[in-house]
């Protein structure tokens, strides 16, 4: 629980404080590891030196022929690294003395170091056996450990002195290098929520620069989307205002026109035409909004041929009014051409495209719909016998509220048909191409669907 609270408190700290705390904790861990290593090194080095001194001392005592001697031990005395116990015992007295002094070592055949527990504590003894006596020089083990600790501590004193200053310097360096982030925070806190201009901060860290670049790119996309939306609203308002103004004028004229006047029926027809135009525009706007709302709908397996037949059936009455022949041609007579799509998207695509083909084809014209299965996709071609579109106008007609001047008088339209189709195609990852029909000499629309 305490550890969890500490982690939560740590995460709430500024980035500079968190980095400083992390470096401090890492420094403490490093200090502990260095202290352990320094202690082990000091212990090994000090033992090697003291052992060598004990050997030299034993050789010296053997050369001067000192008589029998036993060392004294004071349990209340604090022994240092210079303190050793020297015992010189005759070989014939050694077994008896060992019984009363358990720190003594039994007779050995050759010189060597012995570690043993005794009444004095744990000792390290160097034993030098001679012909008539045995020389033993011993030292308490804890004396050597204390010496190693003292040496290790002396080695770490500079680290203890400079570590706080180093951590403080690191903290200020972190603050200095993170200053661009503080500037970035200030910029965002003072920035108006409607401001989509590019964020510019000098000397940003390379780790933050890609994120800011992506953010600036997102701002550009949002700004472009807002401009497109504003343009769309302005165009929609303009397109709606035109028939509304005409309706208002025609209604005012109609009120003043006597019913038996030859202009009365003409005004009624104009009024009906503008009502249909406005109704069509509202319907297309609703279709476009509905299509964009369903852009994230899950894709399913859909029989493409069945959808085309249903859409053609719905628009067949319009084709018969103009005596237009609509044909559907399938390569290899494959009745089950399934694609990954949504039913609503496919209906929007084919209802708009077939309806356009009927609108802009002359009376007694033809419309041909061809389906062809390719290795990894299905190609649908819609040919009509209308006037077609010039190649330089292909991209232009895909924009919203765009109608070609030469076709505006042919039928009621809003200029949203291709936009609705384009939005539906993008939602199902399909594509569209415009071309000249080599069969009916009008417009050819090629649609590519993934299997």
Judging by beta carbons within 10 Å of its beta carbon (0-12, 13-18, 19+), is residue 442 exposed, middle or buried?
buried
The answer to whether residue 97 is domain-embedded is yes
Q: For the ranges 82-86, 354-358, 417-421, which has the lowest average pLDDT?
A: 417-421
- The rounded distance, in Å, linking the Cα atoms of 325 and 358 is 10
Kindly state whether residue 134 falls inside one of the protein's structural domains: yes
Joined tokens for residue 320: 């018969």
Residue 137 CA to residue 113 CA, distance in Å, equals: 9
Q: What's the pLDDT score for residue 124?
A: 94
187 is a domain residue: no
Question: pLDDT of 382-429, one tens digit each?
Answer: 999 988 888 887 776 776 655 554 554 444 555 566 777 887 888 888
Which strand (E) or helix (H) includes residue 354?
Answer: helix 343-359
Q: pLDDT tens digit string along 315-334?
A: 888 889 899 999 988 876 56
Average pLDDT over residues 103-113: 92
Last residue of some domain: 293, 321, 356? 293
Q: Report yes or no on 182 lying in a domain.
A: no
pLDDT tens digits, one per residue of 238-269: 556 666 776 677 677 777 777 777 767 777 77
Tell me if 186 is assigned to some domain.
no
CA angle 358, 311, 360 (to 5 degrees): 10
Higher pLDDT, 7 or 243: 7
**Distant-in-sequence contacts of 203-212, Cβ < 8 A, 24+ apart:** 204/180, 205/177, 205/180, 205/181, 208/180, 208/181, 208/184, 212/184
Average pLDDT on 303-307 reads: 89
Residue 137: HSE in the Cβ half-sphere, 13 Å Cα cutoff: 20
pLDDT category at 180 given cuts 50, 70, 90 is confident
* Domains: count for the chain: 3
Same domain, 313 and 342: yes
3 state SS of 40: helix
Give the CATH number, domain containing residue 417. Answer: 3.30.565.10
Least confident span in 162-166, 261-265, 369-373: 261-265
Question: What pLDDT is stored for residue 409 in this prediction?
Answer: 47
* Residue 433 vs residues 409, 437, 446: alpha-carbon distances, Å: 25, 12, 5
Q: Distance (Å, rounded) from C-alpha 92 to C-alpha 238?
A: 128
Strands 366-373 and 325-330: parallel
**Average pLDDT score over residue span 145-151:** 91
Q: Say if 183 falls within a structural domain.
A: no
Final residue in a domain of this structure, among 262, 278, 293: 293
Average pLDDT over residues 348-377: 88
Candidate ranges 213-222, 233-242, 280-289; pick with highest mean pLDDT: 213-222
Same domain, 165 and 247: no
Q: For residue 211, is pLDDT > 90?
A: no
pLDDT, residue 224, reads 76
Nearest to 126 by CA among 56, 41, 42: 56
* pLDDT confidence bin for 56, thresholds 50/70/90: very high
Model confidence at 444, pLDDT cuts 50, 70, 90, reads: very high
pTM of the model: 0.46
Is residue 285 in some structural domain? yes
Mean pLDDT for the stretch of residues 356-370: 90
- Identify the three-state secondary structure at position 225: helix
pLDDT at 55 over 80: yes
Question: How much is the mean pLDDT over the chain?
Answer: 82
Q: Residue 229 sits in which domain range?
A: 192-293
């Amino acid at each position: 629980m305490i550890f969890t609270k500490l982690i939560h408190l740590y995460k709430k700290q500024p980035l500079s404080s968190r980095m400083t705390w992390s470096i401090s904790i890492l420094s403490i861990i490093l200090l502990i590891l260095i202290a352990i290593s320094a202690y082990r090194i000091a212990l090994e080095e000090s033992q090697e030196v003291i052992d060598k001194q004990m050997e030299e001392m034993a050789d010296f005592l053997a050369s001067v022929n000192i008589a029998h001697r036993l060392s004294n031990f004071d349990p209340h005395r604090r022994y240092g690294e210079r303190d050793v116990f020297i015992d010189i015992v005759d070989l014939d007295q050694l077994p008896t003395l060992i019984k009363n002094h358990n720190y003594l070592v039994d007779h050995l055949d050759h010189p060597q170091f012995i570690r043993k527990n005794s009444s004095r504590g744990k000792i390290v003894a160097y034993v030098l056996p001679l012909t008539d006596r045995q020389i033993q020089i011993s030292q308490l083990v804890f004396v050597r450990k204390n010496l190693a600790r003292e040496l290790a501590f002396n080695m770490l004193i500079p680290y203890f002195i400079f570590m706080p200053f180093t951590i403080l310097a690191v903290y200020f360096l972190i603050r200095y290098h993170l200053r661009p982030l503080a500037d970035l925070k200030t910029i965002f806190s003072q920035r108006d929520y409607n401001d989509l201009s590019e964020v510019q901060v000098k000397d940003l860290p390379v780790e933050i620069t890609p994120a800011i670049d992506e953010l600036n790119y997102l701002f550009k996309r949002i700004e472009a989307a807002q401009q497109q939306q504003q343009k769309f609203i302005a165009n929609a308002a303009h397109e709606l205002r035109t028939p509304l103004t005409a309706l208002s004028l025609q209604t005012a004229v109609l009120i003043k026109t006597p019913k038996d006047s030859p202009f009365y029926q003409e005004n009624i027809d104009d009024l009906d035409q503008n009502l249909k135009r406005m109704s069509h525009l509202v319907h297309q706007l609703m279709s476009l909004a509905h299509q964009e709302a369903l852009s994230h709908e899950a894709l399913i397996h859909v029989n493409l041929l069945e959808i085309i037949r249903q859409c053609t059936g719905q628009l067949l009455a319009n084709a018969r009014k103009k005596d237009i022949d609509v044909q559907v041609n399938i390569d290899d007579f494959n009745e089950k051409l399934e694609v990954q799509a949504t039913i609503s998207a496919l209906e929007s695509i084919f209802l708009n495209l077939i309806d356009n083909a009927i609108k802009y084809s002359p009376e007694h014209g033809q419309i041909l719909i061809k389906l062809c299965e390719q290795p990894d996709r299905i190609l649908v071609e819609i040919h009509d016998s209308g006037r077609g579109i010039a190649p330089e106008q292909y991209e232009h007609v895909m924009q919203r509220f765009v109608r070609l001047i030469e076709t505006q008088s042919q039928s009621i339209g809003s200029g949203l048909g291709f936009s609705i189709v384009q939005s539906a195609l993008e939602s199902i990852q399909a594509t569209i191409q415009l071309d000249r029909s080599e069969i009916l000499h009008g417009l050819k629309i090629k649609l590519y669907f993934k299997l």
